[in-house]
Amino acid sequence: MSANENTAQAPALGTARVKRGMAEMLKGGVIMDVVTPEQARIAEDAGAVAVMALERVPADIRRDGGVARMSDPDMIDGIIEAVSIPVMAKARIGHFVEAQVLQALGVDYVDESEVLTPADETHHIDKWAFTVPFVCGATNLGEALRRIAEGAAMIRSKGEAGTGNVVEATRHMRQLRGDIKKLATLDESELFLAAKHHQAPYELVKEVAATGKLPVVLFTAGGIATPADAAMMMQLGAEGVFVGSGIFKSGTGLSEGERLKAVEKRAKAIVEATTHFDDADLIAKVSRDLGEAMVGINLDTLPADQRYANRGW
Amino acid sequence: MAGNHAQDATIGVLALQGDFREHAAALKALGAHTVFVRRPHELEQVDALVIPGGESTAMWKLATTAEMFEPVRKRVADGMPAFGTCAGMIMMADRIVDAAAGQQTFGGLPITVRRNAFGRQTESFEEPIAFEGIDGELTGVFIRAPWVEEVDPGVEVLARVAGGPATGRIVAVRQGNLLATSFHPELTSDRRVHEFFVSMVRDAA
């Protein structure tokens, strides 16, 4: 970390402020999973604030099984070439060399993601060692603070990716919000035990208790498929939304041309609903005539070993 | 800060996307009456407007769908004081280089701005900046920032990059009631650039 502000005359790269600040610029926006340059352009046209470059969206990773890894560098290059908005890409949990490669490719944010198959079942990546900022998933406050202690500059609630089912995203947003609210009610002498309970560094627990918020931007992810889903997450306190399979897996049953139109319309509708999340008239308007949302998975039918949210520690 | 309150002027912060809350917090800390602006009727109630950092393409699209694009452009053209940071600077520029296909701006400042001029996020940086009209140095926080490539006569250059590969690049300008910076004073606890804008608003009243 070179957070040596006010002294060096040379530009200081990769400071905590420029990493966290990058996420501040994405607030109120939608980050869309894309697998081709063409999808990236559709996302940019729809008003996405960034794209997540992937080889397969989570719904396809579920379908195909096997080991899911970092994307092909050529594919990431193609997407970087195609758009002017920031490009993010996923590395496996703990796979610091995949992260080094993504940094070398010039991606703007690395997602250390439970959607890919974990590469280390004990350690996450030491994110302070990088110039590129990281976003990590969390299901509760302790997990979020452990990731921030490791250098994450942005947190997203995990939800359950690739299901088109918002129930887990709701659970994780409520959990995070509830944990933060509870901290704010404790006196200082009680924060030591709270830190132990959350298995998180005391200094970060103390900071959250004092400010009533995470020290980094909090987005939501995992199962968002409709404009109303996105707006609900914003009303639950998310500062922005990741949409994975929900956009490009929608409109099944239509002809290819019709499907593309429906996808474009849904992408735009989710962007508008995220900005105007408290305007029900507008959400009603943009929810019309979007075609079929992705079919989705009922979580009761999903075996425990296929729950991505359980990955990460 | 004593005596620098913007009296009764209402300063709006365009709240479609980006770090609008940080701008509002900076303005409120200076005692300015501050409101968020997402709709045309909210724009009508403000005397000045801050256009925050964010993604300029997303802001352009959202301004268009919210039917805010023409109203903001018209208010800025009619002389409403405005202050843009980063994406906000892009939105206030008459001309942009490396724009997305068809990308439009509110305009107002006769300058040419290059998007993502310093490079991608791994090139984002902070650096001390000298700012005309403010004593001492500021911390400039540059995040996938634009720079000003050309200014027409009459545009005041307020700050340039002082070190590193981009030395000499223009990163803050003013013309009349319009102020724009490539960097993000709202991400620091130093309120002097916002104070500078609040006094511009007061002088324009």
Number of residues in chain A? 313
Instruction: Answer whether B157 touches A (CB < 8 Å).
Output: no
Predicted pLDDT of residue A296: 81
Answer for the pair A273, A231: CB distance below 8 angstroms, yes or no.
yes
Calpha distance A213→A218 (Å, rounded): 9
Calpha distance A136→A99 (Å, rounded): 13
Predicted pLDDT of residue B3: 43
β-bridge partners, B170:
B148, B160
Which site among A38, A84, A239, A281 would you substitute to test the B interface, given the most B Cβ atoms closer than 10 Å to its Cβ? Answer: A84
For A127-142, the DSSP string reads: GGG-SS-EEEEESSHH
- Is the predicted ipTM greater than 0.85, yes or no? yes
Q: Which residues of A touch B166 (CB under 8 A)?
A: 11
Block residue for tokens 């305007």: A279
pLDDT tens-place values along chain A, 313 residues long: 444 444 446 799 999 999 999 999 999 999 999 999 999 999 999 999 999 999 888 888 888 888 999 999 999 999 999 999 999 999 999 999 999 999 999 999 999 999 999 999 999 999 999 999 999 999 999 999 999 999 999 999 999 998 999 999 999 999 999 999 999 999 999 999 999 999 999 999 999 999 999 999 999 999 999 999 999 999 999 999 999 888 998 888 888 889 999 999 999 999 999 999 999 999 999 999 998 887 788 888 888 888 888 898 8
Which site among A2, A7, A15, A18 would you substitute to test the B interface, given the most B Cβ atoms closer than 10 Å to its Cβ? Answer: A18
Calpha distance A4→A297 (Å, rounded): 48
β-bridge partners, A107:
none
Predicted pLDDT of residue A302: 84
Could you read off the pLDDT of A278-300 as tens digits, one per residue?
999 999 999 999 988 877 888 88
Calpha distance A162→B135 (Å, rounded): 54
Q: Which residues of B touch A44 (CB under 8 A)?
A: 57, 100
Q: Of the candidates A13, A46, A275, which has its C-beta nearest B16's C-beta?
A: A275
Q: Of the candidates A9, A84, A268, which has its C-beta nearest B57's C-beta?
A: A84
Calpha distance A16→A144 (Å, rounded): 16
Instruction: Answer whether B40 touches A (CB < 8 Å).
Output: no
Calpha distance A127→A132 (Å, rounded): 9
Instruction: Answer whether B147 touches A (CB < 8 Å).
Output: no
Helix (H, G, I), strand (E, B) or coil at A295: coil
Block residue for tokens 């634009």: B146
Helix (H, G, I), strand (E, B) or coil at A9: coil
Query: What are the phi and psi torsion angles at A144 (to 5°)?
Result: -60, -45
For B101-114, the DSSP string reads: TT------EEEEEE
Predicted pLDDT of residue A253: 84
Calpha distance A164→A180 (Å, rounded): 27
Q: Of the candidates A25, A109, A133, which has its C-beta nearest B55's C-beta?
A: A25
Q: Which residues of B touch A85 (CB under 8 A)?
A: 55, 57-58, 100
β-bridge partners, B172:
B159, B181
Report the chain A residue with the minimal C-alpha distance to residue B100. A84
DSSP label of A220? B
Say how many CB pairs under 8 Å bridge A and B.
141
- Give how far the C-alpha of residue A30 lies from the chain's centroid of Cα atoms, to the nearest Å: 10
Q: Of the candidates A12, A86, A133, which has its C-beta nearest B125's C-beta?
A: A12
Q: Which two tokens stand for residue A7?
A: 């002294």
Q: Which residues of B touch A27 (CB under 8 A)?
A: 17-21, 54
Q: Which two tokens stand for residue A92?
A: 């496996």
Q: B203 CA to chain A: closest CA distance, Å?
A: 30
Calpha distance A131→A127 (Å, rounded): 9
Distances (CA, A) of A305 to A67, A93, A276: 13, 16, 37
Report the chain B residue with the minimal C-alpha distance to residue A104. B122
Of these residues, B22, B86, B194, B195, which one is catalytic? Answer: B86
Q: Which amino acid is at A228?
A: A
Residues of chain B with pLDDT under 70: 1-7
Predicted pLDDT of residue A303: 85
Number of residues in chain B? 205
β-bridge partners, B82:
B49, B178
Cβ burial, residue B2 (10 Å; 0-12/13-18/19+): exposed
Q: Which two tokens stand for residue B169?
A: 């690049």
Q: Of the candidates B115, B137, B143, which has its C-beta nearest A22's C-beta?
A: B143
Asked if B137 and A49 come within 8 Å (Cβ–Cβ), the reply is no
Which site among B39, B55, B123, B137 would you substitute to test the A interface, given the most A Cβ atoms closer than 10 Å to its Cβ? Answer: B55
Asked if B144 and A25 come within 8 Å (Cβ–Cβ), the reply is yes
**Residue B43 CB coordination number (10 Å):** 18
**Active site (annotated) includes residue B42:** no
Distances (CA, A) of B16 to A20, A258, B6, B67: 20, 30, 24, 12
